[in-house]
Amino acid sequence: MDTHRDAHVAAVLSPMGEVIGTAEFPASAAGYRDLLGWARASGTVRRAGVEGTGSFGAALSRYLLAQGVAVFDVNRFDRADRRRRGKSDPLDAENAARAVLSGRARAKAKTGDGPVEIARMYKLAKDSAVKARTQAINQLKAVLIRADPQLREELAGLGNAELFRTCAGLVDDSLNHEAGEGAVLHATHVTLGLLARRIRQLSDEVQELEGRLTRLVGRHAPQLLAVVGIGPDTAVTLLITVGDNPERLGSEASFAALCGVSPVERSSGSRQYRRLNRGGDRQANAALHRIVQTRLRVDPRTQEYYERRSKEGKTRREIVRSLKRYAAREVYHLVRPVQSQPTS
């Protein structure tokens, strides 16, 4: 299926690869039912390839999975193929079906119907609140740089917490709003107050969402929090990468590749070489990097391993890559057995 915001285009292929038909359906609950009914009119539907299972095709994927259809995530096709064959929605839908039929599309879609999906939404809200708070803090300090020298000197020695509290209480209605200098000072007070109150509100949002995420991880994956270097935020990031149906990951190697920590062969002739994997989920890759950096500071076993590999001539970058691969293996074996069980 080729998915879009308002409509999805589906193509049905026979086991031999013959196109049985293509059709367009609205992106709605009724449209999903009509799409599956139309496809089943041509025979039994066991597998489906969907483009954008994490965006426009997310709801469709959940519906198909609930109806017993195995859904596979289909990536965009390479530019050379598009230049050769052209681009259209029916052609994209046919290509998605062929990717599943040929076995080229092997990544099963996330179900998105459990605690991990809840954590993903909370994390989305938290990340946007953190970004907005950082922007407001930068804006407040930029206003202070241009502020009246007396006001700037009064606030210069304050730490962030006290600075925000002081600015939040800045109300100066006694100033002449229309006289030049007084009006600018009054506008400065109002702006600082508004920004400070915005920072406080966003901080409350971040704190509430952090609490929700911590409770969620503690309830559904407490084994992760017991591992050195893994906190609630890192655990949530890795759980989101795994999804609510970790059985879709066939092995620890597939999880490592999903996180971008598996080596990629670049051998040619007599030269045997493996390069860094620059693909995968970069958020998960960053989470594994944080785990390794924390362990290098506080974990004796990791420090001992680092010293031993350093004496063997390995660089810090090479050692960190190996440690990230080990961390991915550990997380995979911790999460997969527990998360694959149904949760209440």
Q: What is the pLDDT of residues 168-177, one digit of tens each?
A: 988 655 544 5
Nearest to 238 by CA among 320, 229, 316, 65: 229
**Would you place residue 227 in the very low, low, confident or very high pLDDT band (cuts 50, 70, 90)?**
very high
pLDDT score, position 69: 92
What mean pLDDT comes out for the span 183-195?
Answer: 89
Would the pLDDT of 196 be above 60? yes
pLDDT score, position 342: 45
pLDDT score, position 267: 67
In tens, the pLDDT along 139-160 reads 999 999 888 888 888 888 889 9
Would the pLDDT of 117 be above 50? yes
What mean pLDDT comes out for the span 281-303?
Answer: 94
Measured N-to-C along each axis, helices 300-311 and 282-298 cross at an angle, to the nearest 10 degrees, of 90
Number of H helices, E strands in the chain: 14, 7
Contact by Cβ (8 Å): 106, 84:
no
Average pLDDT score, the chain: 87
In tens, the pLDDT along 70-81 reads 999 887 665 656
